[in-house]
Amino acid sequence: MASIANPKTPEQRPDKPTNHARNAALLSIIPGAGQFYNNQKAKAIAFFIVIMSYFAVNYDLFFKGAGAGPGDRGGLWGLITLGEVAGPRNDHSIFLMVEGIVALILLFFGIAFYIWNIRDAYRVGRIRDQHLNVPTFQVQLRNLRDHGFPYLMLIPSLILLVFTVVLPLIFTFLIAFTNYRYNNAPPAKLVEWIGFENFTRIFEIDIWRDTFVGVLGWTLVWTVASTVGVIAIGIFLAVLLNQEGLRFRRLFRSILILSWAVPAFITILIFRSMFNESFGVFNTTILPAFGLDPINWMTDPTATRSALILIQWWLGFPFIMTLMTGVLQSIPGDLYEAATIDGATIFDKFRLITLPMLLFATAPILITQFTFNFNNFNIIYLFNGGGPAVPGQTAGGTDILISWIYKLSLGANPQYGLAAAITLILSFFIMTLAVIQFRRTKSFKDEDMI
Amino acid sequence: MKMKKMVAGLSTAVFAFGALAACGGGTDSGSTNEGGSTSENKPEKIVIWEDIEKSETTKEVAKAFEEEHGVAVEVVEVQMTDQKDKLALDGPAGKGPDIVLVPHDQIGTIADQGHLAPLTDEGALDAFTDASKSAVMFDGQAYGYPKSVETPVLMYNKDLVSEAPTSMDDLYKLSTDLKSKGEYGFLALWDNFYFAHGVVSGFGGYVFKEDGGALDPTDVGLNNEGAVEGFEYIGKWYEEGLFPKGLIGESGGQAMDQLFTEKKAHTVMNGPWAVAGYTDAGVNLGASALPTLPNGEPIKTFMGVKTYALSAYTENQEWAEMFLAELTNEENALKMFEAYNEIPPVAALETNETITSNEVAKAVFDQATNAIPMPNIPEMGQVWEPMAQALQLVATGKQDAQKSADDAVKVIEQQIQANNQ
């Protein structure tokens, strides 16, 4: 009631109320017309030119030129049908799909810009309705220079990102729902949308299910065993090196860090020779020295798996050891003093002070260690190519999901659709794990432990 | 707010330019597709992909062809092993060649995906040996002109062996005699299925059953009685120490070459590609077809045929075939042999003096009569890895021949089956 008695808002000025906002927005259906109505001529021309050139440039992509068949068929048509006539001079389903995705992305930006064109006209109209000053083009340009500089700098990389990251992502995602594989590939055949068939194939056909379960099982065992081992060894050595009164500490630390100094793939290749069954040093020298029989490192799945885990321990511990050494130095000494006064043993001190402090401070890095090993393609591929081959599954005995996907998509008889479906499942795993773990980790919250 | 607007405006402009660029590429490929010239019209030029550093002869023939027919032939060097993948990308984009050079065992995979066009004139292949003709057949159609043929033969050091042994039993005896001296009578990379196949199929095994010229991928004969016998025979050489331990695995080839050039191995089983290395190292090299197995059968080695095939994207198929017929005719094939030691599977050249006077070429020709073309169906891709593993298990004596062969065949069959489910 009071507001009516004391009119302050611009709407209730004595002038006749205007409808510039609505009019401008409606006029904007023709790009730039709304801005023109708002007396922003430069902007109007800019809008008009950008949208018209957008149409001119993309007309072919949207409405014709896709595929080689007759008729005006646009990129989106290609994405929906994946072509109608197979053959080297006709529709190439995969190219049509990529064209379609590009069309889709451009269409998205086009629509976004068009909507913004309408919104802009509406907003300026509303400013006019409120009888406020409409900022001039020059003012807007100055604003852009003063406040928008970082955005301007970011735009090129954003565009690059859309076409180098987002486009392949969409492509992989879409391939998972097609029957694209070595004996169903363009140009000889058309690729078709098959819905979730690749996923049901993984779970319903015995050989694929067995392979998937086998590979997933080993992937999880591998991830946990290799990561936990690396962390345990790293912490153990770091604590050992941090003992007071230890002599030649630097020497020990330097020696222990050496395996980090050699590039991982060289180490893996050297180990691969050392584990060679007929002339590797393990079978010819080390095992006989202990009176043990040679082991089939490369042809027995269990032996290969053990070898892989041992190599990953070797490769991974120096990083954790270095990390933990740093954290150990930041634990306040008075905690230990107090513990000693309370009569704690050395193991109590480790279990109740050192370990929680270490794990708390490094949790995010330890999580990345898990995800790193989950996708640790290098070691699996370089050591034995995922082998040995084992009956009952189509992947090798030491293949983890990522190396199995590699074989499925780049092997002798590629199964692109299936590989893409497994990729989606794998990403789902990683993302879920990452989200859950990151959320539960205390160190991501603001509080300090001490 | 204003600033945001301006940012968005600029970004749209940039997108528009991006789209312009993308579209430019698209129209290009469209126009090439439309502008298909008929074979009556002479094309401006045809393009052939030749193997790297082996194109001089082809260029000469191309020049002669242009003078005679008025059609230019552009010879582009592309690594033979890369041509398959490059064709799959360049072909649909309208930038591909008319002719590619591929190993014949890839023909099935490439043709199956529609990148190759079958020959219109199969009769032109009559000039080639039967084995090489069957190598380029896939799905009942001929897919190319054989350029050269490769198969492992017996190579021996003439300083150590006066005459090529004709039976494996002789070689076996030689090897057991030499063992005490720390020398080797015969070495072969039998843990590699490419080389082991000769023994396995010589005893009666087969990769895929041949049925009226077509291979049946559901019938794998690598664990039948004969194949297992072959495995056992291979195992015997390793078990009795006639092959050194270092011969197993991927560095085996190096070990073998070293022993042969150091005169510690008297004979080896190897292909024509190894000749240059051996003669450079000063080996007084002799070559012959491989000896017969104890059962009296020859060693039926794998044969590889480098093949000129037609791209499915070519618009000048008749001209391309005409050029290939010329490139692989007797005269030019002989030139190719003289320039690059590419042994031509041209039937008429079998008795040609230039070839028979070259011991290795003659050995390859002789061996090729018993050789089996590597299966060129896509399913072959599933055979190598399990077989390598089975052979390794047999060679290292870790598992008996029957079980190794059974396991390998089971894996192969499952893989082939799974790929089609």
Q: pLDDT digit string (tens) for B269-293?
A: 999 999 999 999 999 999 999 999 9
DSSP B228-245: HHHHHHHHHHHHTTSS-G
Taking an 8 Å cut-off on Cβ atoms, the answer to whether A95 and B408 are in contact is no
Look at the block and give the residue holding tokens 């919104």: A119
Mean pLDDT, residues A286-295: 92
Give the number of beta-carbon pairs within 8 Å between A and B. 192
The pLDDT assigned to A67 comes to: 56
Measured in angstroms, the CA of B417 and the nearest CA of chain A are apart by: 9
Taking an 8 Å cut-off on Cβ atoms, the answer to whether A389 and B92 are in contact is no
Confidence of residue B141 (pLDDT cuts 50, 70, 90): very high
What is the amino acid identity at position B68?
E
Quick one: tokens of B366? 């002789």
Of A88, A151, A205, Cβ closest to residue B313: A88
Look at the block and give the residue holding tokens 């406040």: A147
Taking an 8 Å cut-off on Cβ atoms, the answer to whether A140 and B382 are in contact is no
A-chain CB neighbours of B241 within 8 Å are: none
Of B8, B20, B389, Cβ closest to residue A387: B389
A-chain CB neighbours of B16 within 8 Å are: 50, 53-54, 57-58
What distance in Å separates the CA atoms of residue A349 and residue A337, rounded to the nearest whole number? Answer: 10
B-chain CB neighbours of A151 within 8 Å are: 3-4, 7
Task: Tell me the pTM.
Answer: 0.82
Taking an 8 Å cut-off on Cβ atoms, the answer to whether B381 and A411 are in contact is yes
The pLDDT assigned to A32 comes to: 87
Mean pLDDT, residues A153-161: 89
The pLDDT assigned to A144 comes to: 77
Confidence of residue B37 (pLDDT cuts 50, 70, 90): very low
A-chain CB neighbours of B112 within 8 Å are: 182-183, 188
What distance in Å separates the CA atoms of residue A164 and residue A180, rounded to the nearest whole number? Answer: 22
Identify the three-state secondary structure at position B219.
strand
CB B84 within 8 A of CB B113: no
Taking an 8 Å cut-off on Cβ atoms, the answer to whether B3 and A140 are in contact is yes
A-chain CB neighbours of B421 within 8 Å are: 201, 205, 207-208
The pLDDT assigned to B8 comes to: 45
Identify the three-state secondary structure at position B162.
coil
A-chain CB neighbours of B115 within 8 Å are: 88, 187-188
Confidence of residue A447 (pLDDT cuts 50, 70, 90): low
For all residues of chain A together, what is the average pLDDT? 86
Flag whether pLDDT at B70 surpasses 60.
yes
The pLDDT assigned to A149 comes to: 83
Flag whether pLDDT at B168 surpasses 90.
yes
Measured in angstroms, the CA of A148 and the nearest CA of chain B are apart by: 6
B-chain CB neighbours of A102 within 8 Å are: 22
**Which residue of chain A has the CA closest to B117?**
A88
State which of A139-143, B324-328, B389-393 shows the largest mean pLDDT. Answer: B324-328
Mean pLDDT, residues A145-161: 86
Q: How far is CA B103 from CA B110, B135, B185, B304, B376, in A?
A: 11, 10, 32, 7, 9
Taking an 8 Å cut-off on Cβ atoms, the answer to whether B30 and A159 are in contact is no
Q: Which of A384, A413, A412, A410 is nearest to A399 (CA)?
A: A384
Of A140, A296, A394, Cβ closest to residue B415: A394
CA B164 to chain centre: 26
**Residues A323, A324, A327, A329, CA torsion sign:** negative
Mean pLDDT, residues A133-148: 80
B-chain CB neighbours of A138 within 8 Å are: none
Measured in angstroms, the CA of A31 and the nearest CA of chain B are apart by: 13
A-chain CB neighbours of B239 within 8 Å are: none
Measured in angstroms, the CA of B377 and the nearest CA of chain A are apart by: 11
Interface probe with A: pick from B6, B191, B259, most Cβ of A within 10 Å:
B6
What distance in Å separates the CA atoms of residue A417 and residue A407, rounded to the nearest whole number? Answer: 13
What distance in Å separates the CA atoms of residue A251 and residue B268, rounded to the nearest whole number? Answer: 51
Which class for B69: exposed (0-12), middle (13-18), buried (19 or more C-beta within 10 A)? middle
Flag whether pLDDT at A266 surpasses 80.
yes
Confidence of residue B417 (pLDDT cuts 50, 70, 90): confident
Of B20, B22, B393, Cβ closest to residue A299: B393
B-chain CB neighbours of A68 within 8 Å are: 30, 33
Interface probe with B: pick from A278, A297, A393, A418, most Cβ of B within 10 Å:
A278
Q: Phi/psi at B117 (nearest 5 deg)?
A: -110, 135
Mean pLDDT, residues B179-199: 94
What is the maximum alpha-carbon separation in chain B?
94
Compute the radius of gyration of chain A from its Cα atoms. 32
The pLDDT assigned to B169 comes to: 95
Q: How far is CA B97 from CA A424, B74, B101, B257, in A?
A: 37, 9, 10, 38
Of A54, A95, A393, Cβ closest to residue B12: A54
The CA-based dihedral angle spanning residues A274, A275, A280, A281, taken in that order and rounded to the nearest 10 degrees: 60
Mean pLDDT, residues A62-77: 66
pLDDT (tens digit, 9 = 90+) per residue, A388-436? 888 778 888 999 999 999 999 988 889 999 999 999 999 998 888 778 7
CB B194 within 8 A of CB B186: no
Confidence of residue A445 (pLDDT cuts 50, 70, 90): low
pLDDT (tens digit, 9 = 90+) per residue, A366-391? 888 988 999 999 999 999 988 888 87
CA atoms within 13 A on the CB side of A148: 20
What was the ipTM of the complex prediction?
0.77
**For chain B, give me the number of helices (H) and strands (E)?**
16, 15
Taking an 8 Å cut-off on Cβ atoms, the answer to whether A147 and B3 are in contact is yes
Which has more pLDDT, A214 or A277?
Answer: A214
pLDDT (tens digit, 9 = 90+) per residue, B355-389? 889 999 999 999 999 999 999 999 999 999 899 98
A-chain CB neighbours of B91 within 8 Å are: 88, 187
What is the amino acid identity at position A337?
E
Which class for A205: exposed (0-12), middle (13-18), buried (19 or more C-beta within 10 A)? middle
The pLDDT assigned to B40 comes to: 57
B-chain CB neighbours of A42 within 8 Å are: none
The pLDDT assigned to B419 comes to: 84
Measured in angstroms, the CA of B43 and the nearest CA of chain A are apart by: 18
Interface probe with B: pick from A28, A101, A204, A299, most Cβ of B within 10 Å:
A299
Flag whether pLDDT at A69 surpasses 70.
no
Flag whether pLDDT at A140 surpasses 90.
no
Confidence of residue A218 (pLDDT cuts 50, 70, 90): very high
Q: Which of B119, B95, B110, B113 is nearest to B47 (CA)?
A: B95
The pLDDT assigned to B144 comes to: 94
The pLDDT assigned to B1 comes to: 39
For all residues of chain B together, what is the average pLDDT? 88
Measured in angstroms, the CA of A400 and the nearest CA of chain B are apart by: 18
**Which residue of chain A has the CA closest to B385?**
A389
Q: Which of B269, B175, B230 is nearest to B391 (CA)?
A: B230
What distance in Å separates the CA atoms of residue A402 and residue B255, rounded to the nearest whole number? Answer: 34
The pLDDT assigned to B99 comes to: 96
Of the listed ranges A3-7, A93-97, A228-232, the least confidently predicted one is: A3-7
The pLDDT assigned to B9 comes to: 45
Mean pLDDT, residues A55-82: 73
Of A95, A148, A391, Cβ closest to residue B7: A148
Taking an 8 Å cut-off on Cβ atoms, the answer to whether A208 and B421 are in contact is yes
Of A50, A185, A411, Cβ closest to residue B13: A50
pLDDT (tens digit, 9 = 90+) per residue, A14-54? 567 788 888 888 988 888 888 888 888 888 898 899 998 98
B-chain CB neighbours of A189 within 8 Å are: 114
Taking an 8 Å cut-off on Cβ atoms, the answer to whether B9 and A46 are in contact is yes
The pLDDT assigned to A2 comes to: 42
Confidence of residue A446 (pLDDT cuts 50, 70, 90): low
Which has more pLDDT, A294 or B236?
Answer: B236
